[in-house]
Structure 1
Amino acid sequence: MTGRLVVVGTPIGNLGDLSPRAAEALREADLVVAEDTRVAAKLLRFIGARRPTVSFTAHNAAGRVPELLARLEAGDTLALTTDAGMPAVSDPGAELVAAARSAGHVVEVVPGPSAVTAALALAGVSGGGFLFGGFLPARPPSARFVALERLVAASGGLGLPLVLFEAPHRVSRLLGELDRLTGVHPDLQVAASREMTKVHEEVVAGTPAQVAAALPTPRGEFTLVVSGLAPLEGPSAVDLDALVAVGRQAGLSDRSVADLLRVAGIGRREAYARAQAKRPT
């Protein structure tokens, strides 16, 4: 027998944002799989439902997945939730979704509020899309900053804003790390949102230093929209000449040298022209 896993979007703050479909999915579920069962219990009380719940976190996922797959195999309907927003987005629930689909069970979605799109709407940043980075690794600090640099470089290269999540006790650190990057990205701006959809909803925008100064005692999880990122500069002519010279010294053919130039970001036609023009005399 095949069960159903229903991925249910939950409010990011205001319980009134729970959709009728989401409420129905929670009421009809044989089991509610929650990041925090206390949060799920509050949500169930709000809709006047009493359903069994079980926790699913990054710490217990390995043991929980087999148990939940067994429930699906028995034909149960499971509702997957998270503390706020869409499950499986920067959330351990992704592991259960992948496992359920791999085992041949039906996976459905009931869309709901998203901190990512809400923060983008509040930031007022124009563009044809965005790059979502989620949470940076908490440690080690060196790996964390490298990850941030890569995300910022990719975002700048695409000409898109970058969206990050951060815990309140680390947001000052993140703003400091972003401030370090303003030398390379002088137009870098941050719109930091917290408590979205709640009574004390707040958005602080400006340079990383300005935002940090306005948040002396951070509370609540943050969603940051980083914009004004400079695109990466292309390789210089000297660099390209050096690549061609190295390729020639290694005995590479014109085609292989052109392939090397293409990896460096040069278009096909220009790469072949450079490779043939730099033949040894």
Structure 2
Amino acid sequence: MDNDRPGELYIVSTPIGNLEDITFRAVRVLNEADIIAAEDTRVTRGLLSRYGIPTPMISYHAHNAQEKAPLLISRMKEGQSVALVSDAGTPLLSDPGEVLVRSAADAGIAVRPVPGPSALLSGLVVSGLDAGRFIFHGFLPRKESDCKREIRELSRFSGTLVFYESPRRVDKTIALLAEVLGDRPVVLARELTKVFESVKRGTLFTFRDKGTGEPEKGEWVLLVGGCGGQTFDEEKPEASGILKALEGIDISPTDRARLLSRLSGISRRDAYLLSSSGNIP
């Protein structure tokens, strides 16, 4: 490859929707690589066909990574170059690839990034939320208790929280985010760079109550505003008023916190803290 030695692993970003977003370098690397390791060869074939790239492909995904990584490492040790691509965007961001990259690094094989499109960054820069400090979490767990636990662990971060979600689960995930985080600004982006690109802005409570109003097609990027370093009273003054009203009711502290959480929309953890101390640390 021009200016590059053979026997290397290239992490190649590909378009997330609009095929015109591929870079000149990505086309060259894919053309000159000895083999392309693709998450789904059927998806990647469309991209290769568009740009007349004849490079042979091998399937490499989460379910065969342990099996295929040694084969690809062997090819690179023999002097061949491998280009790793996902179905869309930048590999390893909620896509397979970690096993191959670690194996290549352990074998002393150079790993080269070929940067380009990313749904994460595309969603972040159009969101209007804090793009200077953010946490990318990817997909939340399917099990509700695990999902709530992971959201809770992120709840005190003051920057933007970024998640991916499937169209079938997005409404449930928004409801869980609202339950744990309370009402925060949120931006919902889907089909970015495509004809039916959609970017919706609102709050977690708004989308929890009315839904996304979109067909079950295309993965979502969910961007949630951070806690902003605010105290609880600054962020949720209505919860303090609800708590005062509940103080005259003869119920246990635990039941009071649960009722406060239900009525105000704040997380149960924050309701317990507010009930016991009058604020959130």
Normalised by the length of structure 1, the TM-score is: 0.76
Give aligned pairs, total.
Answer: 226
Q: Distance in 1 between matches of 2:131 and 2:195?
A: 29
Q: Secondary structure at the match of 1:85?
A: coil
Distance change >3 Å, CA 233–CA 62, structure 1 → 2: farther
Alignment of 1:111-126 (within 5 A): 111-126=115-130
Which of 200, 203, 207 is residue 207 of structure 1 equivalent to? 203
Asked if residue 224 in structure 1 is aligned to residue 228 in structure 2, the reply is no
Alignment of 1:154-193 (within 5 A): 155=157, 159-182=158-181, 185-186=182-183, 188-193=184-189
In the TM superposition, residue 232 of structure 1 has moved relative to its aligned partner by 8.1
Distance change >3 Å, CA 7–CA 123, structure 1 → 2: same
Q: Distance in 2 between matches of 1:9 and 1:70?
A: 23
Aligned residues of 2:89 and 2:118 also touching (Cα < 8 A): yes
The one-letter code matched in structure 1 to 2:146 is A
| Aligned match of 1:245 | none
The answer to which of 13-22 and 165-174 deviates more is 165-174
The one-letter code matched in structure 1 to 2:224 is V
Equivalent pairs: percent with the same residue? 40
For structure 2, the residue ranges without an aligned partner over 5 or more in a row are 233-281
Q: Distance in 2 between matches of 1:85 and 1:26?
A: 15
Aligned residues of 1:90 and 1:134 also touching (Cα < 8 A): yes
Distance change >3 Å, CA 232–CA 70, structure 1 → 2: farther
Distance change >3 Å, CA 14–CA 127, structure 1 → 2: closer
Which of 9, 13, 25 is residue 9 of structure 1 equivalent to? 13
- Describe the superposition over 1:203-240 as per-residue Cα deviations: whole angstroms up to 9, x where unpaired: 11111232352523332001111004254869xxxxxx
Q: Distance in 1 between matches of 2:29 and 2:14?
A: 11
Q: Distance in 1 between matches of 2:199 and 2:109?
A: 41
- Describe the superposition over 1:185-217 as per-residue Cα deviations: whole angstroms up to 9, x where unpaired: 44x111010000000000111112323525233
For structure 1, the residue ranges without an aligned partner over 5 or more in a row are 235-281
Q: CA RMSD in A?
A: 2.0
The answer to which of 104-113 and 119-128 deviates more is 119-128
Larger Rg: 1
Q: Secondary structure at the match of 2:155?
A: helix
The one-letter code matched in structure 2 to 1:193 is A
Q: Distance in 2 between matches of 1:2 and 1:11?
A: 25
The one-letter code matched in structure 2 to 1:172 is D
| Aligned match of 1:194 | 190
Distance change >3 Å, CA 93–CA 196, structure 1 → 2: same
In the TM superposition, residue 94 of structure 1 has moved relative to its aligned partner by 1.9
Distance change >3 Å, CA 102–CA 201, structure 1 → 2: same
Asked if residue 70 in structure 1 is aligned to residue 74 in structure 2, the reply is yes
